[in-house]
Amino acid sequence: MQKRLLSLGLVAVIAIALVQALSGTASAAGPLISQNKPVTASSSESAAFPPSATVDGNAGTRWSSQFSDPQWIQVDLGASAAVDQVILNWEAAYARAFQVQTSENGSAWTTIYTTTSSTGGIQTLPITGTGRYVRLNLTARATQWGYSLWEFQVFGTTGSGPGPNDGLLSYNKPATASSHQDDGMCAVCTPAKVTDFDPATRWATSATTGWVDPGWITIDLGAAANVSKVVLQWDPAYAVSYQIQVSDDNSTWRSIYSTTAGKGFKETLTVSGTGRYVRMYGTQRSNGYGYSLWEFQVYGTGGNPTPPPPLPPAPNFTRLAWSDEFNGPANSIPDPAKWTPEIGPGVNNELQYYTNNENARMDGTGNLQIQVRRQATPGSACPPDPISGSTTCQYTSGRLNSYNKFQFTYGRVEARVKVSSSQGLWPAFWMLGSNFFSTRTPWPNCGEIDIMEHVGRELNAVYSTLHAPAYFGAGGYGQRLDLGQRVDAAFHTFAVEWDSSHMTFFVDGRSFFTVDRTQLELTRGPWVYDHDHFLILNSAIGGDFPGPPGAGTVLPQNMLVDYVRVYR
């Protein structure tokens, strides 16, 4: 058992001293909020030294851990709190290195204090943080024994989380920053981009003057506000160390949140403070670049808020809203009321020239046929053909889209397709954000939803993938599915169910990939899909994904589409 170093008399003396110390220091902070709250720990030396002893108000009882590193002990305050002080009363077996951490869920932790040179005894730590849980993360013992605490006391103010009437205060409010970027890498990346409610636009500090510490961005809420929550959606150039600050005059600042362990991506911070101005003040960058945010959202009451645009209504995945069954006579063109042919060379180093419906016709048996042919298009320009070496496009195919004929937000989208498959072939069924055309929003900022892609070099596989500014191209967020047989051997039904919180992708009624919005924002980047998209059907040859055609490529190849249906 762990050694006993104190006599009962000495314990009593320390208890009296501790009460005196606490009565002198707690008045400078909020009230004691940890007493008799639930406590858990990584271990206990025995049942005689439970974690609960640290919050029982009795300085003669203690918790002791097992004799190893690391260990932890945490208190559940019962509700989110603004924490401003922690007092630790160590037994002789103290921690030389530890962190004080907070969490809203007991899982994701923010470090608000750290030391590697603790000397034990009674430590009064003035700190700033917010959370329901407060944890001591103990990483280096000062003795050969474990860790032992007489008391673990947390001071602050509970009930500081968002209330039922709290709303978004920052939408379209003026923002200023230490600098901003405007060049080929980040055009017009101004402070206003963090309040525009568009997750595909961002602010970044200047590439010439702003890749320094500190860096900051401030939002003017228009009037004094009670701030309860801040949401930061970071670009990879995020802050490791930063504060959220409030001010009445944009000059004198008060910190309401501080961390030295920022993790980037999406951070949702429960805070408590009052002011007209809210600032992210970064003091340590995550990499050699500056600071960059897709969104900086402030929630609370007061201010002078402008209501943000509402999300589109939730879809009904069983109500048919639009379809094309492709039942036209043989050799007829796709319905011009539903589809527009895209004409010209492809992108992504593809080798085909898309024709004006010459390669997209009804087959007369209820299918649309998109045919890839070896056929030169005089006067066109493509990457060099690996077979002939010519830079005149040596292949033709078809590509159809529904822009300005049918576009929509959310729903179940499905198509029954028999793909073409040969070396270098790339048939696809997908959607692109309508703002690509309507407002000239560049790819991938407009958002792309690939319901089905097949590449001829992987005969049994299909892909479903999302593309956005923070994840695109080879870094897109997606999933590969092996069907266990050649994909081109039969028709298959490819589908996605899409709403404001998720997308689930299906093949032949089997779900194989779900994108959870919350998880995406926490691990990859912004969700950019809450707006109209249009449908695309095409079959490419060559390009970055499938690779080039070659001696094994068999042409012509037909992609057959039985139907496309959208349920909303």
Residue 350 a catalytic site member: no
Residue 453 a catalytic site member: yes
What is the rounded distance in angstroms from the CA atom of residue 246 to the CA atom of residue 293?
A: 18
As given in the structure block, the two tokens for residue 6 are: 């104190």
Biggest alpha carbon distance in the chain? 101
Count of beta carbons in the 10 Å neighbourhood of residue 110: 22
Give the three-class secondary structure for 552: coil
Q: Which of 45, 295, 350, 448 is catalytic?
A: 448
Do residues 203 and 217 touch, judged by C-beta distance below 8 A? yes
Residues ≥6 apart with Cβ < 8 Å to 450: 428, 430, 463, 464, 465, 466, 467, 476, 478
As given in the structure block, the two tokens for residue 419 are: 């793909």
Do residues 478 and 463 touch, judged by C-beta distance below 8 A? yes
Per DSSP, the residues of 126-174 read EEEEEEEEEEEEEEEESSSS--EEEEEEEEEEE--S--TT-EE--TT--
Find the distance separating the first CA and the last CA of the chain, reported in whole Å.
67
Three-state DSSP string of 324-385: ECCCCCCCCCCCCCCCEECCEECCCCECEEECCCCCEEECCCCCEEEEEEECCCCCCCCCCC
Q: Which of 91, 151, 453, 521 is catalytic?
A: 453
What is the rounded distance in angstroms from the CA atom of residue 342 to the CA atom of residue 538?
A: 10
Do residues 397 and 371 touch, judged by C-beta distance below 8 A? yes
How many C-alpha atoms does 381 have within 13 Å on its Cβ side? 0
As given in the structure block, the two tokens for residue 266 are: 């999406």
Q: Which residues are catalytic?
A: 448, 453
